[in-house]
Amino acid sequence: MTFHPRMTSRIEGVSVIGGLKWRSWAGVVADVWSVKCEPEARGEYISEDPRLFVVLDKCGGGTLQLGTDKASDLNSHGIDCPMSFIPAGLPVWGRLRKMEYLRHLDIHFDLDIIRRRFGDDLITQRFQKPRLMFSDDAVAGLARLIADECVNEQPLNDLYGDSLVTALVVQLFQIGQARKRQRSQLSARHLRLVTAYIEEHSLRTIRLQELSDLTGLSQSYFSHAFKASTGMAPHQWQMKARIRKVQSLLGKRGASLTTVASLAGFSDQAHLTRVFKRVVGVTPAVWQREQWN
């Protein structure tokens, strides 16, 4: 089930360019907006869900101001690409002065899903504290990767997006520092169960939630335990399993790359070629010729 963010806004002097780009993963919806701004653009926003606002790019040399009290001075710090975390239900006022263009990312969180996902009793408290106009290089880097996935015409496996979201939440709220917990490996039974499931379903998208449900662990704990057991993330393990299936199909004489790409869940032959070369080291055409010679 896809989580739908609930947000109302009143804006003046702002027009959207190119339409909304968005993706959803477990517990979040990420939106990328590109807007053209008039000299004194402004807006009032209130979301029923907590959200992270990250400036990706801006043009015009102006300033962005943000605040939670319309009557008071708005925050305007000397940060090139600031970000702000706004708790659920908290009104925010923004003003853009002499800024011609702005591209930003909004990440809306479903707190119930995030709380279950991380199994952290303190997560609710952290989501109630606003942070306006701050910078964090690690969060910014993850936010840009998430934004890239929102606009990617050939999105990567959903496990990749889930992993980015997990890392962003951990970094943003410093979950590891507040509650340290040693991550052990999966039990032998759980590892066999999960790897067999990935092998069986490797030609389709597998959500991190599916794999964690098999073990009864939170997604965060499962992801760490799986990597501790195998040395790689779940989405990497699946991709290797998918490529093994591709190799099996290519090993049959007369198999075309276009047909194999379709059967293996790739968008086209070029997509298959890129992923195959990254995993195997050679293109599928070269690998196929070597098997037949």
Encoded tokens for 170: 């951990």
Backbone phi, psi, residue 18, to 5°: 80, 0
Are 103 and 224 found together in one domain? Answer: no
Are 193 and 247 found together in one domain? Answer: no
Q: Residue 149 domain-assigned? A: yes
Alpha-carbon distance values, 231 to 56, 166, 192, 200, 240 (Å)? 33, 18, 15, 21, 13
Beta bridge partners of 8: 46
Are 218 and 260 found together in one domain? Answer: no
Q: Residue 202 domain-assigned? A: yes
Are 49 and 100 found together in one domain? Answer: yes
The domain that holds 122 is classified in CATH as 2.60.120.10
Are 130 and 259 found together in one domain? Answer: no
Which of 136, 158, 173 is at the close of a domain?
173
Q: For residue 118, what pLDDT band results from cuts at 50, 70 and 90? A: confident
**Each residue of 134-171: pLDDT tens digit?**
999 999 999 999 999 999 988 888 899 999 999 999 99
Contact, 179 vs 122, CB < 8 A? yes
Q: Residue 1 domain-assigned? A: no
Q: Residue 2 domain-assigned? A: no
Are 94 and 16 found together in one domain? Answer: yes
Are 71 and 158 found together in one domain? Answer: yes
Q: Residue 95 domain-assigned? A: yes
Are 282 and 164 found together in one domain? Answer: no
Encoded tokens for 32: 């990328």
Are 17 and 154 found together in one domain? Answer: yes
Nearest Cα to 132, choosing from 92, 88, 173?
Answer: 92
Provide the pLDDT for residue 71. 47
Q: Domain range holding 109?
A: 7-173
Provide the pLDDT for residue 293. 66
Are 163 and 271 found together in one domain? Answer: no
Q: Residue 103 domain-assigned? A: yes
Q: Residue 205 domain-assigned? A: yes
**Each residue of 191-237: pLDDT tens digit?**
999 999 999 999 888 999 999 999 999 998 899 999 999 999 999 99
Q: Residue 201 domain-assigned? A: yes
